């Protein structure tokens, strides 16, 4: 970005800085809304992809340092520099900050004088003085800072490093991996040139699809054993969705949201341009489906594979007929963007929206079969249980709701976190799993950094999984239901034992973990990161 006055920002440049920060922090919907309303892509003349990452945070930090230096300015250059709390720097004016600095300096001078007096008195004693460690202060000062560092050292030892409030940029392959993970168990798929937002395995064979902000999806053919740290770009089909226009961002939201479905012959993608596309596994475009007028946020196939759903920023849900290569029905009930959709049967589905509403609809019906209005904020995710009797939803209102909808009855259970809930998943049930005779569980991931397993039958907490140190963006049960994989903004993927809630393995990614997918046989997991890579790991417990 450039400006005639290098010491000031234009409002357009500030808009872009906030927009870029929202993207980097994983707030995709908020970034899209800001970019759309402020027309950032059209009116920002610079190449926005060239701006350094975390630029807004860096500039804010530098600004706070400048304010701190200004508050410490005195005529005596030899005086000690006093560090101020960041919250004080952004809430107090210059005069108040100078007063805080002066009071701290007086306090430091008084303490120094007291120590000198005590030392001089002890010199007259025959015995050596009894030294004691000073108790940490409960607020302010360096003592509290040292206390916090001590707590971090006790709680977050990781591969021989001590991690502070921000994760260190560690190399996965230079240090022993935790929980028995070996470098030979990890395969890195490189080739995307922007954030990878989605990944999904084919239900047949070892084909993996990924979708990225570089306006491409990719289909990878994975060998039976992840025995190399790089993919060497072999057996990769690149599915191009269009080219970025000059002076525009490379369609960061144009990413894969769909899955490889049915017999593994088709892949559906939804993108920023509002188009749904069908591809075969050789990377050939089968059809482009045009009907939406905004970004597609969710794509879901039904079990038969003859229809799939798309939920969009244009506030509608569309059912697409795969054989006819055209839309079958468009549902226009929501008053806000549709963030998620999920099939109950091959003909009925649920949709959740920023308007806080959940609608249950049926192909051929002009009105919703049911509607639910219990949430107080945006509905981020909706999921039917394996039997289609229970509908779970989670929201920015910090709750997940489980609604019993069978035989036209309604019973509702609230499950609570202390921050926005981003994702939920049901444990698998059935003859193919080890959980056919156990209780049904619901997993919820939240911005409070925790994952909770709920015993839905009794509406009680089964396990609270508290190892992550930042927002949890994705969760996935293994096909057997014995393990749960969780991915977070802290760049970690944890594999948990569902039975006892213990961590079995931990993997380190090179960026925010945006999605996790288990292979059908449960022997591999794939996880997408915001640092342009997809990781594939062998999972052997």
Predicted confidence (pLDDT) per residue in 260-279, tens digit = 454 568 899 988 889 999 99
- Backbone CA torsion sign across 230, 233, 237, 242: positive
Query: What mean pLDDT value characterizes the chain?
Result: 75
- Least confident piece of the model among 62-71, 315-324, 446-455: 62-71
- Least confident piece of the model among 138-147, 201-210, 427-436: 138-147
Give me the mean pLDDT over the 111-140 stretch.
43
**173 and 510 Cβ atoms separated by less than 8 Å:** no
pLDDT value for 157: 26
Q: Could you give the domains of the chain? A: 11-40+55-112 (no CATH), 186-224+233-242+252-538 (2.130.10.10)
**Of residues 296 and 93, which shows the higher confidence score?**
296
> What gap in Å lies between CA 508 and CA 538, rounded to an integer?
14
- Least confident piece of the model among 207-216, 236-245, 291-300: 236-245
pLDDT value for 328: 96
pLDDT over threshold 80, residue 122: no
Q: Which residues contact 295 (CB under 8 A, 6 or more apart)?
A: 32, 253, 271, 272, 273, 274, 312, 313
pLDDT value for 11: 76
**494 and 501 Cβ atoms separated by less than 8 Å:** no
pLDDT value for 414: 77
pLDDT over threshold 80, residue 104: no
DSSP state at residue 482: S
Question: b/e string for 125-163 if b means 16 or more Cβ within 10 A?
Answer: eeeeeeeeeeeeeeeeeeeeeeeeeeeeeeeeebbeeeb
> What gap in Å lies between CA 229 and CA 188, rounded to an integer?
6
pLDDT winner (highest mean) among 244-248, 330-334, 456-460: 330-334
Query: Which pair of tokens denotes residue 185?
Result: 């168990």
Proportion of the chain above pLDDT 90, given as a percent: 38
Residue 487 pLDDT level (bands cut at 50, 70, 90):
very high
Residue 222 pLDDT level (bands cut at 50, 70, 90):
confident
Please count the helices (runs of H) and the strands (runs of E) in the chain. Answer: 7, 34
pLDDT over threshold 70, residue 357: yes
Query: Which pair of tokens denotes residue 435?
Result: 């959980």
Q: What predicted TM-score, i.e. pTM, was given to this entire model?
A: 0.66
pLDDT value for 167: 31
pLDDT value for 416: 81
Residue 16 pLDDT level (bands cut at 50, 70, 90):
confident
């Amino acid at each position: 970005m450039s400006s005639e006055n290098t010491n000031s920002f234009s409002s357009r440049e500030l808009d872009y800085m906030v927009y870029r920060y929202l993207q980097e922090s994983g707030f995709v919907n908020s970034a899209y809304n800001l970019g759309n309303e402020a027309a950032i892509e059209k009116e920002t003349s610079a190449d926005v992809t060239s701006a350094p990452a975390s630029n807004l945070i860096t500039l804010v930090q530098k600004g706070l340092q400048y304010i701190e230096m200004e508050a410490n300015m005195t005529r005596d250059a030899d005086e000690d520099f006093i560090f101020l709390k960041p919250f004080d720097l952004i809430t107090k004016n210059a005069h108040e900050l100078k007063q805080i600095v002066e009071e701290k300096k007086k306090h430091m001078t008084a303490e120094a004088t007291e120590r000198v007096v005590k030392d001089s008195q002890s010199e007259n004693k025959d015995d050596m003085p009894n030294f004691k460690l000073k108790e940490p202060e409960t607020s302010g000062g360096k003592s509290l800072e040292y206390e916090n560092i001590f707590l971090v050292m006790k709680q977050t030892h990781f591969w021989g490093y001590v991690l502070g409030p921000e994760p260190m940029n560690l190399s996965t392959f230079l240090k022993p991996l935790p929980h028995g993970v070996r470098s030979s168990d990890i395969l890195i798929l490189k080739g995307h040139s922007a954030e990878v937002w989605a990944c999904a395995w084919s239900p047949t064979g070892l084909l993996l699809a990924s979708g990225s902000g570089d306006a491409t999806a990719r289909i990878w053919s994975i060998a039976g054993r992840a025995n190399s740290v790089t993919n060497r770009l072999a057996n990769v089909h690149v599915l191009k969705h269009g080219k970025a226009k000059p002076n525009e961002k490379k369609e960061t939201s144009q990413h894969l949201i769909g899955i490889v479905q049915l017999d593994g012959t088709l892949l559906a993608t939804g993108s920023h341009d509002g188009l749904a596309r069908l591809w075969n596994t050789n990377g050939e475009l089968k059809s482009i489906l045009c009907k939406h007028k905004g970004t597609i946020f969710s794509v879901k196939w039904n079990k038969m594979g003859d229809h799939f759903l798309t939920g969009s920023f244009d506030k509608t849900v569309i059912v697409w007929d795969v054989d006819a290569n055209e839309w079958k029905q468009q549902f226009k009930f929501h008053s806000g963007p549709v963030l998620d959709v999920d099939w109950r049967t091959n003909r009925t589905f649920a949709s959740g929206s920023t308007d806080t509403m959940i609608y249950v609809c049926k192909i051929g019906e002009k009105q919703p079969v049911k509607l639910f209005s219990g949430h107080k904020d945006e509905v981020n995710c909706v999921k039917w249980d394996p039997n289609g009797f229970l509908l779970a939803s989670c929201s920015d209102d910090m709750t997940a709701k489980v609604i019993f909808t069978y035989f036209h009855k309604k019973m509702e259970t609230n499950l609570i976190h202390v921050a926005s809930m981003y994702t939920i998943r049901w444990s698998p049930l059935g003859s193919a799993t080890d959980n056919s005779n156990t209780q049904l569980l619901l997993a919820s991931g939240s911005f409070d950094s925790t994952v909770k397993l709920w015993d839905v039958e009794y509406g009680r907490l089964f396990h609270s999984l508290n190892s992550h140190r930042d927002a949890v963006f994705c969760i996935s049960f293994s096909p057997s239901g014995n393990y749960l994989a969780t991915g977070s903004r802290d760049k970690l993927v944890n594999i948990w034992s569902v039975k006892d809630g213990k961590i079995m393995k931990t993997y380190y990614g090179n960026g925010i973990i945006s999605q996790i997918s288990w292979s059908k046989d449960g022997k591999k997991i794939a996880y997408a990161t915001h640092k342009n890579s997809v990781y594939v790991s062998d999972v052997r417990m």
